[in-house]
Amino acid sequence: MSHGESTVERLRGRLAPGESAALPILLSVVVVLGVWQLAAGLVPAYSFPNAVELAAAFGRAFGPEARFSPWEQYPITILRVLLAATLCMVVGTVLGIVMGTSERAEEYLIVYVLATFAFPSVIWAFFAVLWVGLSTWFTTVFPVFMVVMPYVAINVYEGIADLDAELPEMAHSFDASQWMVWKDIYVPHLYPHIFANARLTLTLAWKITLVGEIFGTTEGIGRVINSFFRANQNDMILAWVVPMMVLVFAAERVLTVVERRAFSWRVETDRTMTA
């Protein structure tokens, strides 16, 4: 087996979901739980609960006598995350394409896109509350959009910049339409960037939405967390946050599997070329 082929085989082992991926995940969970238990033994349950105390907190959070209804709070947060992530992906992708394909647009827009990186998400959350007060959507979606959308735009912009400029020129020399150039050159080239943006957007949208809910809403997981924070009940905060963390992690894993399957042909091509 050649050196190139062995490298491809190792890459395939890392990318292919299955037993090779299950063992590191299992070991990571065991290590985290072990460290968790050790740390929890040093402080009271209300400050940092151990596994048994956290299970009891889950019972209080999702039991029949729960202070807040999960069926009311989780859906609104999930909808906010999905709405914000969708807006970031659509607007950021379009903006990145415009900057990447037009020098004049790049000159005017790149400064504004980069300038938004200087603002923390909490500042945008404050602005949203100051401008419109408590609201159902604006105070949560706006901070996510202002923080995450520029990342999407820059990633797409850099993706187009990495494209070999001779490919579109060669396509046009063969009388390929603009639609064909985009469909067969630009879009396939941007697929990896789009998938990476989707994963990044989903995880950041969840985190920033939580900040917006804490500051500017009367419903959602952030509102529940804020209530338990005021009551100094960290075990209940964890009981409410952990399920959403698991859901976001699962969604990110699904996107990763879809991406691996979508680009499995690249590994097969590399394997054929090195055979």
| Residue 11 resides in a domain | no
**9 or 154, higher pLDDT:** 154
| Residue 156 C-alpha from the chain's centroid | 16
Q: What is the pLDDT of residues 181-214, one digit of tens each?
A: 777 777 777 888 888 899 999 999 999 999 999 8
Q: What whole-number distance in Å separates Cα of residue 258 and Cα of residue 261?
A: 5
Among 30-44, 98-112, 161-175, 247-261, the minimum mean pLDDT is found in: 161-175
Q: And the tokens for 202?
A: 């989903």
In the predicted structure, residue 163 carries a pLDDT above the cut 90? no
Identify the CATH number of the domain in which residue 224 sits: 1.10.3720.10
| Residue 15 resides in a domain | no
Helix (H, G, I), strand (E, B) or coil at 189: helix
- Closest by alpha carbon to 57, among 244, 249, 234, 248? 234
Q: Band of the pLDDT at 2, cuts 50, 70, 90?
A: very low
The mean pLDDT of 247-253, rounded to a whole number, is 89
- pTM attached to this predicted model: 0.79
Q: What is the pLDDT of residues 146-155, one digit of tens each?
A: 999 999 999 9
Q: What is the pLDDT of residues 100-118, one digit of tens each?
A: 888 888 888 888 888 888 8
> Exposure string (b/e) for 213-227, b if CB count within 10 Å is 16 or more?
bbbbbebbbbbbbbb
pLDDT averaged over the chain?
Answer: 81
Residue 8 has what pLDDT?
40
| Residue 19 resides in a domain | no
| Residue 164 resides in a domain | yes
Q: And the tokens for 122?
A: 């909490």
The CA angle 136-142-146, to the nearest 5 degrees, is: 165
In the predicted structure, residue 157 carries a pLDDT above the cut 80? yes
| Residue 254 resides in a domain | yes
In the predicted structure, residue 176 carries a pLDDT above the cut 80? no
In the predicted structure, residue 6 carries a pLDDT above the cut 60? no
Instruction: Count up the domains in the chain and report the number.
Output: 1
Residue 168 has what pLDDT?
72
Q: Band of the pLDDT at 78, cuts 50, 70, 90?
A: very high
Q: Which domain holds residue 244?
A: 68-263
> What does 104-149 look like in DSSP terms, one character per residue?
HHHHHHHHHHHHGGGS-HHHHHHHHHHHH-S-SSHHHHHHHHHHHH
Q: What whole-number distance in Å separates Cα of residue 212 and Cα of residue 80?
A: 10
Q: Band of the pLDDT at 266, cuts 50, 70, 90?
A: low
Q: What is the pLDDT of residues 216-242, one digit of tens each?
A: 888 999 999 999 998 888 889 989 999
> Which own/partner pairs from 32-37 qualify as long-range (CB within 8 Å, at least 24 positions apart)?
none
| Residue 18 resides in a domain | no
Residues 6+ away with beta carbon under 8 Å from 27: none
| Residue 232 resides in a domain | yes
| Residue 270 resides in a domain | no
